[in-house]
Structure 1
């Protein structure tokens, strides 16, 4: 940034694209790294945590930043792709400084940190956090923002950033990441400290937390669920897809599992118990019990209305299943499948029973993972019905569940494969900047 340029508030940097000098995007900003200093000196901004397209997080020193403008960050083009690891002297701005309760030096009043501004020192290559945007009064909650006077003060006008807090809020952090997809927000939570992760999880609503839990590694799921009150944990499990809830509960001790199941709504718990009765790597263990089910007298218009639901995954929305009543799983007799493309080709008044695909054999609930994967590959399917020996539809297996169980167990915790030549290309100056 050129000398004399205006300060930048850090909330404007969340998710901002990072480009090399040729205009090619190399990643997005996920956090800022600062180093607190003795006394009331403003913290030095060391660099940015940048998430590459591979989801690997790397450290980008501020000495490699040539511009921050128009919603983008421009770099020199030289990147060290070594994974970012936070050092004891460093603080993550989004993860640790926002939402903190600090004290105004002049009045002794406690305030909440909503934002911070950073500025490039004209005479040097250094960047500093120079000002703090705060709100007076108590903090808000997950459902209501706090009210109170807001003001921007110099860094030296507040104290308390160096203290460990027992109840740091998550309001501003959630606002910063509210546009992230569940998988990306899960990645953010995975990199937070356990304390901060629990605070953010507590502030998320049940549906959002359920979506995020489904994308987290197993250890993180168990940790977060264990820190929730039991009634809320049961509510979150109800909001999860039944197959994901069953997978999570199966990892808990028997007493905890039964206690949570008994707190869930009986109908929700029944679906989860049914899924847990099957072996893990079978169609019965992988399926969801909530596919789109229609009666034979439903029309194409009815089917398209169901498919439009924003709560459905693309795989589940790809087809509907036609069954005789009852139309909750396990259903009456399964008649066949209608694919989304066929729904688009036929008039809205057409009965779904007239256009069903009954050529493909449904999956048996005891079908193995290998057999299921072969079925998907052979027939180019993204979802498949699971039918029992009586001809009743039990659920549907989707391709994402198949991939989830075929990948290594720790795939959510590791980056996608990087070329080894990229790993070997390390820049000593960047490492030195991070270590300083």
Structure 2
């Protein structure tokens, strides 16, 4: 009889996956299990593996030949279609960890949370056999002895645990976010897109406002509306304030007029004002595409000051590529637009020089009603990553960046399909 192999699932997160020749396939991102009324132990049906370009694919356990020594070996036959969770499937790392459960073993009964689960291989089949729990309530002891320490951990049989299949609004999302902490925002957004509606709401509740705002900017419109609708009105307004104005305006445009006004009223007036302006433009014009918060300086600002501004970590790379120089006021709509300065030019000039002395006046600003096609041609013709937008009086209104244009010229469902593989 072959020996039983036991593996704790949380330790699989991030492990490298190889084919039989030792070539890397990807990294483990989750384990897929299926609960059944006819089986006491959930069956492990496969792994979610992250392959090239952050695609997540499904690898059945029948294709896994070895799980040991900090690596996973497969048969090498991997279907590269993007993983889509089915209704009868549960993701261990994304959905089970930190779930509140009840434990009733022969020795004691207690409430706890799931810290990890163990899966075992018997023959060709894998199943969940053990649950590593952290107690959330003390167990009274006899006599004068002290109660057990709060937070004690214990390994129990899966048969002694109830609540694993019960969706809970109190289920923590910290473990999920911890497991994907190394992902870029766009890739984390793709993970969240694949979760169930309830799980997306739980993750949104666990994220801070700035991170959730960043993720919303990368999600499809349906997911954005769903998540924002699940937040209380006050937090929804805070999230909109934290988003880039053009993305926040696009999201507001998907809501009813009544809901738009409700959220705008709750926002700080200086945060709501640019969104109100953006909502007046057609979405496929320069005004509808632009952001109202590029880097703006007066002509007397020094090169050193300009470099300090574009060095800020939170600044989007496209917006950090150039500085728009205007007369006061320097908040949009500004005073008269004078020109722009590319960051490469800044690096070639003495730090004490003024930005007004190195202006590029050859880039013609766009009117707010310029159509998308005109903006696209402008970016392509002059190899730009951002173009200025002005009103009829020459006041600077904002800038359209190349990523804003790509969002509108790609197919509407590109965010859902960006991890798909095209087969020849």
| TM-score, length basis structure 2 | 0.89
User: Which aligned pairs between 1:26-425 and structure 2 lie closer than 5 A?
Assistant: 26-37=25-36, 41-53=40-52, 56-68=55-67, 72-106=71-105, 107-121=108-122, 124-137=123-136, 148-415=151-418, 418-421=421-424
| Secondary structure of residue in 2 paired with 1:395 | strand
CA deviation after TM superposition for structure 1 residue 16, in Å: 4.0
- Cα distance change of structure 1 residues 87 and 242 upon mapping to structure 2, 3 Å threshold: closer
Give the CA RMSD over aligned residues: 2.3
Please give the secondary structure, in 2, of the residue aligned with 1:30: strand
Partners of 1:51 and 1:314 lie apart in 2 by: 26
Whether the 8 Å CA contact 1:290–1:395 is kept in 2: the answer is yes
Provide structure 1 residue ranges, at least 5 long, that are not aligned to the other structure.
139-146, 422-436
Quickly say closer, same or farther: Cα 1:22–1:349, change in 2 above 3 A.
farther
Cα deviation for residue 109 of structure 1 reads: 1.7
Residues 89-108 of structure 1: CA deviation (Å, up to 9, x unaligned):
43221232122111121333
* Structure 2 unaligned blocks of 5 or more: 138-149
Query: Hey, what's the Cα distance between the residues in 1 that align with 2:396 and 2:18?
Result: 50
Displacement of 1:339 in angstroms is 0.9
Which moves more between the two structures, 296-305 or 366-375?
A: 296-305
Tell me how far apart the structure 2 counterparts of residues 25 and 358 of structure 1 sit (CA, whole Å). Answer: 51
CA separation in 1, counterparts of 2:396 and 2:334? 5
Q: 1:57 to 1:417 in 2, by over 3 A?
A: closer
Give how far 1:73 is off: 3.1
**Quick one: structure 1 residues 87 and 248, their matched pair in 2 at CA, closer, same or farther if it must change by over 3 Å?**
closer
Change (3 A) 1:128 1:272: same
Alignment partner of 1:212: what SS? helix
SS at match of 2:202: helix
Aligned 8 A contact 1:54 1:415 in 2: no
TM-score (norm 1): 0.87
SS of equivalent residue, structure 1 residue 420:
coil
Distance 1:362 1:24 in 2: 51
- In 1, the alpha carbon distance for the partners of 2:151 and 2:421 equals 48
Distance 2:14 2:191 in 1: 11
Deviates more, 1:181-190 or 1:238-247: 181-190
Ranked by relative contact order (alpha carbons within 8 Å, sequence separation 6 or more), the top structure is 1
Change over 3 Å in CA distance of 1:152–1:317 after alignment to 2? farther
Q: Secondary structure at the match of 1:109?
A: strand
Over 3 Å counting, the alpha-carbon distance change for 1:383 and 1:251 in structure 2 is: same
Per the alignment, residue 431 of structure 1 pairs with none
Residues 40 and 156 in structure 1, CA contact (< 8 A), matched pair in contact too: no
Distance (Å, rounded) in 1 between the aligned partners of 2:73 and 2:305: 50
1:424 alignment partner in structure 2: none
Check conservation: 2:84, 2:194, Cα contact below 8 A. Answer: no
Report how many aligned residue pairs link the two structures.
409
Displacement of 1:341 in angstroms is 1.2
